Amino acid sequence: MPHIQLLSPRLANQIAAGEVVERPASVVKELVENALDAGAGRVDVEIEQGGTKLIRVRDDGFGIAETDLPLALSRHATSKILTLDDLEAVASLGFRGEALASISSVSRLTLTSRTEQQEAAARVEVEGRDMDARISPAAHPVGTTVEVRDLFFNTPARRKFLRTEKTEFNHVEECVRRQALSRFDTGFTLRHNQRVVQSLRPAESDLDKERRIGSLCGQQFIDNAVVIDAEATGLRLWGWVALPTFSRSQADLQYFFVNGRVIRDKLVAHAVRQAYRDVLYNNRHPAFVLYLEVDPATVDVNVHPTKHEVRFRDGRLVHDFIFRTLHRALADVRPDDHLRGAAAQSFGREPVVEVSGGVPEGAGAVQAPWPETAASNGYPVSQGAQPQQEWRASDQMAFYQSLNEGGGVSSGQASASVSQVSVTPPMEEGDEPPLGYAVAQLHGIYILAQNRAGMIVVDMHAAHERITYERMKRALAEQDIKSQPLLVPLSMAVSQKEAALTETHGDDLQQLGLQIERIGPETLAVRQIPALLRGADTEQLVRDILADLIEHGQSDRVEAVTHELLGTMACHGSVRANRQLTIPEMNSLLRDMEATERSGQCNHGRPTWTLMTMSELDKLFLRGR
């Protein structure tokens, strides 16, 4: 029988390195986090051969005293925590005291540092073979430089599992990107094989922060992002979330930070996914850069050696806060938010046609005679005249009311077609609605409208589907969920843990319209279900709700299934293709879109409208060249 023996420091550190040092990017992460904890205003990262040959991280922080250098490379040695109270309220990025020891056990490490009080710097060198620290004097400004050479030189099995140089450097670049997003007040430089890849100055102003976001995440992201900043119950969430139309095929543009620490958390991911639930197309993924600020004592960061996971003391409160903040921010997006950039590009353009005379209150576009002159911006104007139609706002609303009720348009009412063209009435600057005024209907499917920015094309079915859906949701929210008793209660076999949940969350289930009774240690009886969901798979619905309660402490399954049903009803109850609309009906639809939440997407996540600016139209016809 083998005797129990104490592991050697070298072997213990190499075992720890298996958790902390997975690849060169892991080394960069730990070293950059140490630099940020040291108060660095600038961090320079230099990489050679994807990080396998050299990783050099230099900072201008407060440095390490010469007497502390050998201890800095020892395991479980740190200046960031001292007592259990410090561990329960960690405010620094690092705190475990394992990184440098683990890295030095699988590489040739050199650490050079100088504090402001020292006249000269000192250097400590160590190799994974014997791990004996050698200290010598050196020349170095205030701050620290760490060089890691020949990573995994003494663990060839680990080195064999590394990927190509390009792949490893991509991971390093992603690591530096995350750190640069977490600290706007710090400048970053990244070099690979003597070539500068990133050079970021400190960003203090909001404009500088947006420039950094655009540089790291792409300018298209920042152009399609909504700014978030909300506070409640000791929590603050701020940052940028992309519009649903800027969705991704994979979750590669999602950055979430808790007190400056980048994390991957199931609770956060669920809250974000729930906020985007009915505005994303198929299996698309949202894009966001978000920052959550909480009391450090209410979040446990000592969950995993890589510190990528955290545990919140009140996870349900955090989940609800994130969901409601994002849900409201996305709901508040209106067409004019989409059009700001386009309007700025086309600012100063005059309407294509100017028509004299006023416009009745509530009116849309008014058909008027075409003048025989050209517009002031040089666009030719058609010759000929059409009879001017006079109508009242009440007529317009009556037409659209019949549309909402699914009624047809009588043959006596004028129908809009491609041959019928309306002219935008003159308006004072800032008075024009974001989606402008209807001009015509194309193939019975699309509404053509114009505003100062250019041409708007609206999918009338998708737009009306969203409007109807939101109205049905509001109507349902204003009344309690009605339950329907089952003639024969549904008996279900579940685990004891799931059965116990129905007792502890009985009130929550009752609010969802479910009455579930525990009739045995592992048996449930479902006696009532929501009346709207009488045709749903009740057993699967209950099992999904219980699974949510186990993982997240709450469930939105009933709401999700209910909204899915409402979406189907709205789809079938909305205006269909080839339905001829009058100009007043089209304009009324545009006005409803401007007042409806999430009107940029239908219930299935498809866009409801798009804009082609005047500059884009000019390019099509080579104007101005």
Give residue-wise pLDDT tens across range 553-571.
777 777 777 777 777 777 7
The pLDDT-based confidence of 344 (bands split at 50, 70, 90) is very low
Q: What is the DSSP letter of 435?
A: T
**Percent of the chain having pLDDT more than 90?**
45
The pLDDT-based confidence of 130 (bands split at 50, 70, 90) is low
pLDDT in tens, 217-255: 999 999 889 999 999 989 999 999 998 888 898 999 999
Of residues 335 and 461, more confidence is placed in 461
pLDDT value, residue 15 = 67
The Cα–Cα gap between 548 and 546 comes to 5
Q: Which residues of 335-359 are buried (b: 16+ CB within 10 A; e: fewer)?
A: beebbeebbeebeebebbbebeeeb
Sheet holding 483-493, edge to edge: 483-493, 523-530, 515-520
The Cα–Cα gap between 603 and 96 comes to 47
The pLDDT-based confidence of 320 (bands split at 50, 70, 90) is very high
CB contact at 8 A, 524 and 286: no
Across 161-287, the runs of DSSP E, i.e. the strands, are 187-192, 195-200, 225-232, 235-242, 254-258, 261-262
The Cα–Cα gap between 489 and 595 comes to 44
Q: What is the pTM of this model?
A: 0.74
Least confident among 9-23, 87-101, 316-330: 9-23
CA 230 vs CA 185, 328, 369: distances in Å: 21, 11, 51
Contacts of 295 (CB under 8 A, 6+ apart): 89, 234
CB contact at 8 A, 75 and 97: yes
CB contact at 8 A, 547 and 494: no
Domains belonging to the chain, first-starting first, are 9-200 (3.30.565.10), 206-333 (3.30.230.10), 351-625 (3.30.1540.20)
pLDDT value, residue 278 = 81
The pLDDT-based confidence of 624 (bands split at 50, 70, 90) is confident
pLDDT value, residue 424 = 40
CB contact at 8 A, 360 and 392: yes
Q: What is the DSSP letter of 622?
A: T
pLDDT in tens, 531-544: 877 777 888 888 88
pLDDT value, residue 400 = 46
The Cα–Cα gap between 167 and 51 comes to 11
575 pLDDT higher than 90:
no
Contacts of 167 (CB under 8 A, 6+ apart): 50
The pLDDT-based confidence of 336 (bands split at 50, 70, 90) is confident
The Cα–Cα gap between 176 and 171 comes to 9
CB contact at 8 A, 255 and 181: yes
pLDDT value, residue 14 = 67
CB contact at 8 A, 613 and 453: yes
pLDDT value, residue 142 = 96
The Cα–Cα gap between 225 and 246 comes to 8
Greatest mean pLDDT among 321-330, 353-362, 465-474, 535-544 lies in 321-330
pLDDT value, residue 340 = 58
The pLDDT-based confidence of 308 (bands split at 50, 70, 90) is confident
**3-state class (DSSP) for residue 452:** coil
No. of helices (H) and no. of strands (E), the chain = 20, 22
pLDDT value, residue 449 = 95
